[in-house]
Amino acid sequence: MQKKILYVEHGLKPYGGGHEGMLIIFKNIDRSMFDLHLYSLKKSIFAEKSEQAGVTFHENAIKSKYLISEVKSIIRSWRLIFFIIEAVRYIIEFYRFVKRERFQVLHPCDNLSVITCLIVGRLLGIPVVFHIKDDFGAGYHRFLVGFYSKYASFIIPTAKNIAVPFLKKAPSKTIVVYDGFDLGFYNRDTLKSTVRDEFSIPKDRFCISVVAVLKERKGHIYLLKALKKMVDAGLSNFVCFIVGEGDLYDKLRRYCIENDLADKVIFTNFRTDPWNFIIASDLVVLPSLAEGLPKVSMEGLALKTLCAGSRVSGMPEILIDGKTGFLFSSQDVESLFEVIKKVYKTPLSEFNNIKEAGYSHLRETFSIDKCVRSLEEIYNKVTLDAANLLRANPSRH
């Protein structure tokens, strides 16, 4: 008999690498064993792709402008009271839905959904399992570590560095499972990049790409400052593609204009073909302040493009400095500048061993089969534990 698994997300985050990781699970999990469902406040791109992968989608019945607004702006305004009221309504509606449909595992996909699922799971005696894809070492996340560790059935960090606080609090129900990466699509021999032709970039011009939503945590400003140092040092035969959209567009664009980078930095907005830019690039940079296990760096390794990233969270587990890529200190313009300068001034053929090592590391470490089989084992364990608990205490339901 199939086990009913409910994945839960609020549907507000831009489609990104975390969603791609979940889709890989949806496409490869044993459907004879597991019946997959997705619950969300609205039908997002992720929801549409999930349906295409055969997941049953459910949209929350409450249509609230407060619940689908930017949470940070709500918290800082008089609208907070309406948000709280609607949040309570949402939890009640979600409780009724989960109880009616008799799901056996709740798997939230973001922090707001984790809190909702832990409340409802606790009330109904349903196990709650979720991935941790962000660094929980600072700020309000420290509180969440204790809360999650106490009430979750299983916590699945996607990198060893991310797992540290959870292994301290709840070692028996914390297990590191790397996201699986689908190498099938990322074949440099069959994918042909059209980016240099599209943007009229000469073949001899050094090309850098950063593929990330335009948010503070992605650290774009530090890359731009490093590029300014490149120009000041007379190393100016380059172009940088900033692939993505977000709140910082105006600020970043203004910085480029004020610092004579406007003709060297191209903002592409959201693209459905980030691989096109990765193939066209000599160096892919991810200057994040915090990361989980960044998919764009995996894509770079898969396409055998040289990658550099800030030394945060799961990044060093993908980019082993000097072996599969390059690392630099987060928010350190000088450190990033030195990496870019080194690659810029060195014939790219001298980095072929790093590219090949990166590809091998990706294939061996981030296996889809390992990822999915581990998750299936976790689902089977928590449903068995829940069934045993119910038999021991029938009044729980």
* pLDDT, tens only, 103-128: 999 999 988 899 999 999 999 999 99
Looking at residue 73, what is its pLDDT?
A: 54
Between 62 and 225, residue with greater pLDDT:
225
Cα(75)–Cα(71) distance, integer angstroms: 6
Backbone φ and ψ for 153, nearest 5 degrees, come out as -85, -40
Q: Which two tokens stand for residue 113?
A: 């959904």
**If pLDDT is split at 50, 70 and 90, which confidence band does 208 have?**
very high
Q: Which residues pair with 210 in a beta bridge?
A: 242
Mean of all residue pLDDT scores within the chain? 91
Q: Does residue 93 carry a pLDDT above 70? A: yes
Cα(328)–Cα(226) distance, integer angstroms: 12
Looking at residue 141, what is its pLDDT?
A: 73
Helix, strand, coil shares of the chain, percent, nearest 5, are 50, 15, 35
**If pLDDT is split at 50, 70 and 90, which confidence band does 71 have?**
low
Cα(67)–Cα(137) distance, integer angstroms: 27
Q: Does residue 193 carry a pLDDT above 80? A: yes
Between 327 and 1, residue with greater pLDDT:
327
Cα(358)–Cα(325) distance, integer angstroms: 7
Q: Does residue 262 carry a pLDDT above 70? A: yes
In the 8-state DSSP scheme, what is residue 172? Answer: G
Q: Which two tokens stand for residue 211?
A: 């593929």
Q: Which residues pair with 373 in a beta bridge?
A: none
Model pTM greater than 0.75? yes
Looking at residue 361, what is its pLDDT?
A: 97
Cα(132)–Cα(109) distance, integer angstroms: 9
Strands (E), 119-191: 129-132, 154-157
Q: Do 343 and 349 meet the contact criterion of CB atoms below 8 Å apart?
A: no
Helix (H) / strand (E) containing 10 = none
Torsion angle in degrees (nearest 10) through CA of 123, 128, 133, 137: 60
Q: Does residue 256 carry a pLDDT above 80? A: yes
> What structural domains and CATH numbers belong to the chain?
3-180+367-396 (3.40.50.2000), 195-365 (3.40.50.2000)
Between 55 and 143, residue with greater pLDDT:
55
Segment 267-326, tens digit of pLDDT: 999 998 999 999 999 999 999 998 888 999 999 999 999 999 999 989 999 999 999 999
Looking at residue 66, what is its pLDDT?
A: 47
Which residue, 343, 312, 344, is CA-closest to 328?
A: 312
